[in-house]
Structure 1
Amino acid sequence: MGFIVSFVEQPVVALFISLALGYLIGKIRIGSIQVGGVCGTLFVALAIGQLGVKISPDLKNVAFALFIFALGFTAGPQFFNNIRGGWRYGILSFVEVVTVLLLLAAAVALFRLDYGTASGLFAGSATESAVLGTASEAIARLALPAGEIERLQGNMATAYSVTYLFGLVAIVVTVTQIGPLLLGVDIREASAALARDLGAEDEAGKENGVPEIVSRSFRAGPIAGSTVGAFENSVNGVVTIDQVGRGGGFTKATAETLLEPDDIVLVLGRRRSVIAVSERLGTEVPMPAGDNVPLVEREVVLVRREVSGRRIRDLRRLASAEQRRGVFISRIRRLGQNIPALPGSVLEQGDILTLYGSEDAILRAAPELGHLLPASAATDFVMLGLGIVVGLLLGELSLQIGALNLTLGTGGGALVSGLCFGWLHMHRPAQGAIPPAAAGFMKDFGLATFIAAVGLSVGPEAFTLLKQYGLILPVLSILVSALPALASLYIGRYLLKIEAPILLGAIAGQHCSTPAISALVSLAGNSTPVIGYTVTYAISNVLLPLMGPLVVGMVGLIG
């Protein structure tokens, strides 16, 4: 037994046990509630920390800098675009921040919360773990003895561990149950109606695994005598004749190709469109083996401002007849989330579009949208190292306003640097690449390691906090989590006139709650709520961590 305890007390062992058991606990699901690996890691680290394990502060700082820079890097393109043009949804993120700060100020005044407890309540109730890093650094800068700073940071971790679970439950229930009830809508029916408005096809086809974009071959029949371009224009360009078979062989079709009665035309388009135009063609025929058109998928990052804010269906009016032929947008990824790639879906600068079609059609269309992403999955460590160093330099800047010493700190500086470097990479994807998988690992591992280090540093004295406040912290966390969501519910519905599925998704995003949007999408039956989620998530993921030092300063003024 003694050997096991001494083994666990080794910092490296304690760290990875915290990660392993924490993420195992995080997989436990009760209904639609799942605490997640980060919170689970903190629970385990708090327990192991009672053995007296100590983790180097340098490891904690490195892990947090890695996490917060990657967070900014991935959010950069959408953040600047949403600040500039996504105000209709993005205003809800500011409602979240202002409401939470007001509620927190009231709690500090009523219950005399200290710096650490208030910061932990803020981070846990808003389910934004990154606040722990910026607030912890702000607490470390206070003119207090080292022992007192350690105690306050322990209170922060303990308060966060208690309030996170209640804050998570509160936002999930508010978004999936209370919100639809107050709005008087059936979220599944409303989401299906919204998807139809955006141009969604019959869901039955998708359930049976039928692909969205298909190719089928027909006899030219009734359209013989017209050119390929004339036929495509007559159906508003919703399908493309990619190849024409004549005399036993197939050739690439152009807009000027004149069709003959016995020609076989290979029609490419969305399933519903192909079915609709088939009535104007001859009989369907099987495609001869070996003559199928080679179709590929390539990803392009949307950069052109002329396209940002446009619906997918509008792109055909902007592009020339040749540019739009034979290429379709099959997927849209925004902040790592897939949003519906429907004709009525609005595109935003920084979106990753998956283009589907022939290789030459994609190469022809891609420059009109942005930049093709390189196939390489290697991380540019020059970009990574330089970006974090720039962030650390920014974190050293400070501004004195009365008794407040405002500074970005390591976390805020690395976040701002990540935002700028991410925005630059969007315009120059060939340089400074941090692939999505690598950025995701940096965020997950960096945050989990930081949280584990925080939990392991908490001593037994921090648990006196639970005896001191009892049920006050859980009740406060529910209020601080739910009330901003309810405020946004009424502002979004009656002032901003946002559709119910998108509004509820935006509320989950303003809370940076992945479990909430996952539960909402499951309830909705499609991904339309993600449209609102990505906007507010991008903004709140930046605003909330920056509030850490402000919370510490506010507690100092009130207390």
Structure 2
Amino acid sequence: MPWLHSLLNQAPEIALFLSLAGGYWVGKFHFGKFQLGGVAGSLLVACVISQVGISIDSGVKSVLFALFIYAVGYESGPQFFRSLGRQSLREIAMAAVLALSGLATVVVLARMFGLDKGLAAGIAAGGLTQSAIIGTASAAIAKLGLAADEVQHLQANVAVGYAVTYIFGSFGAIIMCVNVLPWLTGRGIRDDAIEAQAALLAGSAVYGVGEQPALSDLVGRLFRIEQGGGQTIGKIEADGTITIERVKRNGATVGVGPGLALQAQDIVLVVGRRAGVVACAERLGPELPASDDMAITMVTRDIAIANKDFADQTIEQIRQATAGALRHGIYVVAVNRAGTALPLVPDTKIAAGDVVTLYGTAEDVQRAAKLVGTLILPSDKTDFVFHGLGLVVGLAIGLLVVRLGAIPLTLGSGGGALLSGLAFGWYRSRHVAIGNMPTAASTLLRDLGLAGFVAVVGLQSGRQAVTTIATSGVSIFLIGVAVTILPLLLTMLVGRYVLRYGNTAIFAGALAGSRSANPAFGEVLDKAGNSIPTVPFAITYALANVFLTLLGPLVVALA
């Protein structure tokens, strides 16, 4: 179809977005318990479209992947830095096990099937989806002291092995991490992700878009005063669980203050904790369904604690220090430190930079904010100054090269963007007035970045892979399948029975990172529905970039 070839080469972006649309459509289909998912679907559809013959700039792939991995790092920065230490030994072990098992698998199969050093290294690069192996292996081949034509032949075979095996290297990792791993553990990624998030949130419930609790902790009710006549507002509010926000007497609202004595037939609006408000019926009188001119607007706002008087104080100490007029009408909904909820118990100690969520009228919250710290106004705007700088820093870090002997080691643009995202995410957790990125924006960067990245990979490599399989037979492809599956399977068993991973979401993130399997990680995130798998992924991914890159010269030496 020459017209289609001409069209897609004039506008390769059409092929890219067609791959995304078709991939996510294909990814919705269920085959028993197996579902391909949008990322793997995009890769598959892109391979099909690539048969037309498409040229698409590699810069597009780099940009999309940088956006994806930066957003992932930004979301997980606070948790990542808290997780470093002895508790990361499991992730270090996992990355080492996968690299060693990958090396052993490639070397054994290369000797069994008589593969030359170039093909073996290319299969390692494609089957383990670590493109840096191409560079380190090619450099090692050049130092073997062979004739120039032989060196050129072996280096060309590196590219052939990579082209044939890379597609399944990406696809197979998705299957192992998203489908096989939950089967092995007997637990779902989504269920375990929710469980782990609940533990991080100190028991606080997490609600999705359009969800809310049927029994809210903070409520407002109208009462008509009968048995409560003669009591002052200050006395009624003494226990701190309720606030009388409005009083209507003889059809007109009156000023509210601690010394105001309520009279029979007054209508009052009571706001506060559910238990305290419900108990008001016995103290005040019957509840009313509605009354004109009694509606007020309540707000929920986050405030970063900056007042040094509150730092290193317990919740109980702060409560006592702010009793009276300052705390009137203010209810603490939650306290978060670096994205993690703190338990709202009396002995919890508050630190500078913690974020407290307050509920009350706009005037009351504003009054409290002036004393507590910086009010964080909700916004749907992204701070492009902050995040643009973050990407610049990450991409610059990716350009750095450190040589281990003759072996060049580099994080690359992906590793640099991940590291920068982690650092900028952590910094933002300490300085919440800058660096805003709404959840919807972050989700778009992750989904579009990853799916677009794998679609470009499919468009660039799909045709070459099919052609090579057709001319060279399927043996290289099948060896690549083994190199993809066996190290993942062995690492999975070690993680399950030796390292004792209990949470499948955390396990899946660590496994995907150990293989630097970005498409698989994207699908794990999609299944999890939250960022729980990201911290173990970030640790093992950073290690895998080093360990797997070192496999190039080792395969050349041993194959």
Q: TM-score, normalised by structure 2?
A: 0.71
Distance 1:231 1:303, change over 3 A: same
Residue pairs, 1:321-470, within 5 angstroms: 321=323, 322-323=326-327, 325-329=329-333, 355-366=358-369, 371-402=374-405, 404-458=407-461, 459=464, 460=466, 463=469, 464=474, 465-469=476-480
Asked if the contact 1:387–1:418 (Cα under 8 Å) also holds between the matched residues in 2, the reply is yes
| Number of equivalenced pairs | 502
- Listed as ranges, the gaps of 5+ residues in structure 2 are 110-119, 140-151, 206-210, 513-520
Aligned to 1:177: 187
Deviations 1:37-79 (A, max 9, x none): 2222112222333443232122222222222223323333443
Q: Which residue of 1 aligns with 2:218?
A: 213
1:544 and 2:541 are equivalent in the alignment: yes
Q: Distance in 2 between matches of 1:240 and 1:509?
A: 46
Deviation at 1:400, TM superposition (A): 3.0
The letter for the 2-side match of 1:170 is V
* Partner residue in 2 for 1:18: 19
CA shift for structure 1 position 215: 0.7
Opposite residue 410 of structure 1, the aligned amino acid is: S
The alpha-carbon deviation at position 284 of structure 1 amounts to: 2.0
Q: Tell me the equivalent position of 2:100.
A: 105
Query: Distance between the aligned counterparts of 1:173 and 1:349, measured in 2?
Result: 44
Whether the aligned pair in 1 keeps the contact of 2:337 and 2:354 (CA below 8 Å) is yes
Q: SS where residue 323 of structure 1 aligns?
A: coil
- 1:54 maps to 55
Distance 1:510 1:477, change over 3 A: closer
CA gap 1:511/1:226 in 2 versus in 1, 3 angstroms: farther
Q: Which amino acid aligns with 1:320?
A: T
CA RMSD of aligned residues (A): 4.9
C-alpha separation between the residues in 2 aligned to 1:486 and 1:80?
27
**By how many angstroms is 1:316 displaced?**
7.1
Cα distance in 2 for partners of 1:265, 1:241 equals 7
Structure 1 unmatched ranges of 5 or more: 123-131, 181-185, 201-205, 493-502, 522-529
**Are the structure 2 counterparts of residues 118 and 292 from structure 1 closer, same or farther at C-alpha, using a change threshold of 3 Å?**
farther
Q: Deviations over 1:201-259 (max 9, x none)?
A: xxxxx99945453211235666666655554453xx344333344454445755x3454
Counterpart CA distance in 2 for 1:116 and 1:279 is: 78
Q: In structure 1, what residue type is equivalent to 2:269? A: L
Which one of the candidate residues 244, 250, 262 is aligned to 1:260? 262
Query: Partner of 1:17: helix, strand, or coil?
Result: helix
Q: How does 1:491-510 map to 2 (within 5 A)?
A: 503=503, 506-507=506-507, 510=510
Q: For residues 121 and 310 of structure 1, what CA distance do their matches in structure 2 show?
A: 54
Question: Do 1:331 and 1:355's aligned partners in 2 also have CA atoms closer than 8 Å?
Answer: no
Report if the CA contact (8 A) 1:172-1:516 is conserved: no
Q: Does 1:136 find its partner at 2:131? A: yes
In 2, Cα distance between equivalents of 1:364 and 1:148:
70
Contact 1:170 1:481 (8 Å CA) reproduced: no
Written as runs of structure 1 = structure 2, the 5 A alignment for 1:116-195 is: 117-118=123-124, 135-137=130-132, 139-140=134-135, 143-144=138-139, 147-148=156-157, 150-151=159-160, 153-154=162-163, 155-174=165-184, 177=187
Deviations 1:299-335 (A, max 9, x none): 5568899999999x87974772333733342898997
| Secondary structure in structure 1 of the residue aligned to 2:287 | coil
Contact preservation (8 Å) 1:323, 1:364: no
Partner of 1:3: 3
Q: Write the deviation string for residues 355-405 of structure 1: whole angstroms up to 9, x where unpaired.
A: 443112332445677643345433444334333222222223233334543
Structure 1 pair 440–309 and aligned structure 2 pair: CA distance change class (3 A): farther
> What SS is found at the alignment partner of 2:550?
helix
Match of 2:116 in 1: none
Q: Aligned with 1:105: secondary structure? A: helix
- Deviations 1:491-538, CA, capped at 9 Å, x for gaps: 76xxxxxxxxxx5665466557687688789xxxxxxxx7xx63x633
Instruction: Tell me the alpha carbon deviations over residues 407-446 of structure 1, each in whole angstroms, 9 at most, x when there is no partner.
Output: 2222222222223333344444554444333333222222
Helix, strand or coil for the counterpart of 2:187? helix
Q: Is the 8 A contact 2:132 2:549 kept in 1?
A: no
- The CA deviation string for residues 8-63 of structure 1, in whole angstroms up to 9 with x for no partner, is 45532321221111121222345665433222211222233344323212222222
Aligned CA distance change for structure 1 residues 442 and 516 (closer, same or farther; 3 Å): closer
User: 1:177 aligns to what SS in structure 2?
Assistant: coil
- More moved, 301-310 vs 410-419: 301-310
Q: Is the 8 A contact 2:39 2:523 kept in 1?
A: no
Q: 1:23 & 1:4 partners in 2: Cα distance? A: 22
**What one-letter code is carried by the residue in structure 1 that aligns with 2:64?**
A
Q: Distance in 1 between matches of 2:543 and 2:352?
A: 24
Alignment equivalent of 1:95, drawn from 90, 96, 114: 90
Q: How does 1:21-32 map to 2 (within 5 A)?
A: 21-29=22-30
C-alpha separation between the residues in 2 aligned to 1:451 and 1:50? 16
CA displacement at 1:550 relative to structure 2: 2.6
Say if 1:173 and 1:55 are closer, same or farther in 2 by CA, change over 3 A.
same
Amino acid of the structure 2 residue aligned with 1:326: I
SS of match in other structure, 2:245: strand
Aligned equivalents of 2:551, 2:544: Cα separation in 1? 10
User: 3-state SS of the aligned residue for 1:480?
Assistant: helix
C-alpha distance in 1 between matches for 2:273 and 2:124:
53
The whole-number CA distance in structure 2 between the counterparts of 1:224 and 1:505 is 57
Task: Output the CA distance in 2 between the equivalents of 1:425 and 1:199.
Answer: 22
Distance 1:519 1:552, change over 3 A: closer
Equivalent pair of 2:75/2:425 in contact (CA under 8 Å): yes
Q: Deviations over 1:97-120 (max 9, x none)?
A: 422431441242144275565566
Match of 2:70 in 1: 69
Any idea what SS the aligned residue of 1:268 has?
A: strand
Residue 43 of structure 1 aligns with an amino acid whose one-letter code is L
Distance in structure 1 (CA, Å) of the matches to 2:75 and 2:486: 34
Percentage identity across paired residues of the two chains: 31
One-letter amino acid of the counterpart of residue 3, structure 1: W
Question: How far is 1:470 from its partner?
Answer: 5.3
Write the deviation string for residues 460-498 of structure 1: whole angstroms up to 9, x where unpaired: 25654432255664454344345425555x476xxxxxx
Larger Rg: 2
Q: Which residue of 1 aligns with 2:296?
A: 293
TM-score using structure 1 length: 0.71
Separation (CA, whole Å) in 1 of partners of 2:123 and 2:3:
36
Whichever residue aligns with residue 218 of structure 1, its letter is: F
